[in-house]
Amino acid sequence: MVEAQKSSSIVLDDRDRLFATGAESGPDLTVSLGPLRLQSPVMPASGCFGPELGSLLPVGELGAVVTKTLFADRRSGNPSHRLTESADGMLNSVGIPSPGTSQFKRQVLPKYRVFGVPVVVSVGGLTVEEYWQVTDELADARFEALEVNVSCPNLEHGGLAIGTEASAVEHVVSGVVSRTSVPILVKLTPNVTSIGDIARAAERAGAAAVTVCNTFPGMAIDVPTRRAVLGNGVGGLSGPAVKPMALRLVWQAASAVGIPVIGCGGISTARDVVEFLLAGASAVQVGTATFTRPYAMARIQRDLAVLCNELGVSHLSDLTGALRP
């Protein structure tokens, strides 16, 4: 484990110590996402974890790290304000800043690799071809998987997210799959009529897993100024407020495909994780909780081991899809 992880600021209690030391009584938390093997189901959501947080939690205990979404060229993102609180959640309109592929490979990716866990590179594109271009430009880089973010606005179709059309998703993902040998995860948008149709399109294209889901569209208004709070007007809602909707989408996606589903949306506790697993998820991503508690993922990971013992679960995979009718 790297030095940054040794200096974690988390205060361990007795149950943390039990599972942090790898006690034999601990449950098996390993998961498989196609050929990708993870020691834990917990990982950050794209855009919610940077290498600078490595000194605040033991990243080596997580299943993987996921980078911010990468575009081919440098992007500055949206105007301020970019973040604002909402009831039981957060609205963001960051606009996905990106250093561009060349700088990412030279300066950013090595900082993720030091944690010793699989690195999932999130890739985006404002056109179909940009997804393929980024994949090609990453050919000489070392990472364990790609997460294709199909929630990006497609300039070819007036800004409509590529992920809202099954045919577009299949087209983009199949092109990415043909250009790399690493497993492909596909991050889906919730803004669709049938999440099952979109998930099946990703599966047909060769995806190893799908991530369900991204943020929900929303906005906030400042009454005294009569202006939108966010500089871009609208943004994406995340946090506990979206958890019931995300759970439903995970359940629907898992019922539609045979590949693993990664649950994402409002997860802040180990019990939240178990809910997503019961709905059909095999792994989870944590986003908004990290903004207020940088150590949240490590706490969730350790509490999950304790909760599995309390539930009499020796293998985490036994919970996946175990929701009773």
Nearest to 123 by CA among 207, 67, 206: 67
Take residue 167 and report the two structure tokens written for it. Answer: 């045919």
Q: Establish whether 152 is a catalytic residue.
A: yes
Take residue 156 and report the two structure tokens written for it. Answer: 């070819």
Q: Are 102 and 75 in contact (CB under 8 A)?
A: no
Class of residue 7 by CB neighbours under 10 A (exposed 0-12, middle 13-18, buried 19+): exposed
From the candidates 48, 152, 213, 308, give the one annotated as an active-site residue: 152
* Angstrom distance (rounded) from CA 171 to CA 22: 43
Q: What residues are paired with 184 via a beta bridge? A: 146
Class of residue 21 by CB neighbours under 10 A (exposed 0-12, middle 13-18, buried 19+): exposed
Take residue 88 and report the two structure tokens written for it. Answer: 């039981």
Residues known to be catalytic: 152
